[in-house]
Amino acid sequence: MINLWYSENYWAHSATCNGPKKVVMNLIESLEECKIPYAVNEDKYKYNYLIQYNQDMYSKHENLEHESCIIGPQIWPFDSYGQFLKDNPQYYRKLIVPGESVYQSFIDQGYQKDKLVKWPVGIKDINFERSGKVKFLVYFKRRKQKELQHVISFLSENNHQYHIFKYGSYSQDEFYEQLQDCSHAIIIDGPESQGIAIQEMMSSNMPLLIWDNKEWEEMPGLMNPVPTTVNYWSEECGEKFYDEEELELIFNKFMTNKYSPKNYVNRELSYKVSVEKLLKIFES
């Protein structure tokens, strides 16, 4: 039913399992779980999904029926290929963006609004039996070292155990081991387009305390509205705070309340829900 177009070279620079690779892995797993036929880099079925858009995918795109093509989320809007997509919306059915922040950013940059659609790749169903002990997974990515140090000091002063994961420095197996061993997570992360690792924590039913963002410090003004670590979120997933002073104020509430992030993932981000949404994009 769907031809998937991508190149593993897109993530070959990374020794660990990064976001672009996880998008492909989760998409394939979700199609297989839902028994949807697919082909890889082969024009076999009715629908074409170009997950990436670079020189290689541009060349393949030329030879496909344009109305059958959806493209994204791995699009860089500032290179010549991203510019081509902005200037030529007649050459594809839809552009996929992974969440609200990127959606608003593309609109601000002049992409045709009715050609954009928000679609997050599905999240694996993760089930663990935990011991009941309190231990924190501290997830650190693209933030200031002093912010990490503040959280570590806070946890140490309150006699809490923790394990630190720095993005790009752990394997997938190590990540899942800590998901089982830890009971709660504190996220110190920059703005995310989707945030698959965080959503896998949610799928394991791990309550999250998010140190969220008020601005995009790496690339000021790139994303509007104000970017966030969690584009997919509800109060059942945990709590958010925005500065050092708020951590202590919200921590007791976080430890006292009961959360059910897995329910949110099952309802909004499961493999089944994601595949259903993808097929509707092709059929709309």
Determine the Cα angle at 175 with ends 172 and 181, to 5°.
145
- pLDDT category at 216 given cuts 50, 70, 90 is low
Give the other-Cβ count within 10 Å of 185's Cβ.
26
pLDDT-derived band of residue 139, with 50, 70 and 90 as boundaries? very high
Q: Are 52 and 81 in contact (CB under 8 A)?
A: no
Confidence of residue 11 (pLDDT cuts 50, 70, 90): confident
- pLDDT number for residue 279: 97
- What single-letter DSSP state applies at residue 117? E
Reported as a single tens digit per residue, the pLDDT across 29-61 is 999 999 999 999 999 999 999 999 999 999 999
pTM: 0.93
- pLDDT tens digit sequence for 230-275: 999 999 999 999 999 999 999 999 999 999 999 999 999 999 999 9
Strands (E), the chain: 2-5, 38-40, 47-52, 69-74, 94-97, 116-118, 135-141, 161-166, 184-189, 208-211, 238-241
Separation between Cα atoms, residue 282 and residue 34, nearest integer Å: 16
pLDDT reading at 219 higher than 80:
no
pLDDT tens, position by position, 74-124: 999 989 999 999 999 999 999 999 998 889 889 988 999 999 999 999 999
Bond preceding residue 225 cis, omega within 30 of 0: yes
Residue range 135-267 in CATH 3.30.1360? no
Residue 121 has what DSSP assignment?
A: P
Q: So where are the chain's domains? A: 2-122+270-283, 135-267
Average pLDDT over the chain, rounded to whole? 93
Say what the pLDDT of residue 105 is: 87
pLDDT at 223: 47
96: number of Cβ within 10 Å? 24
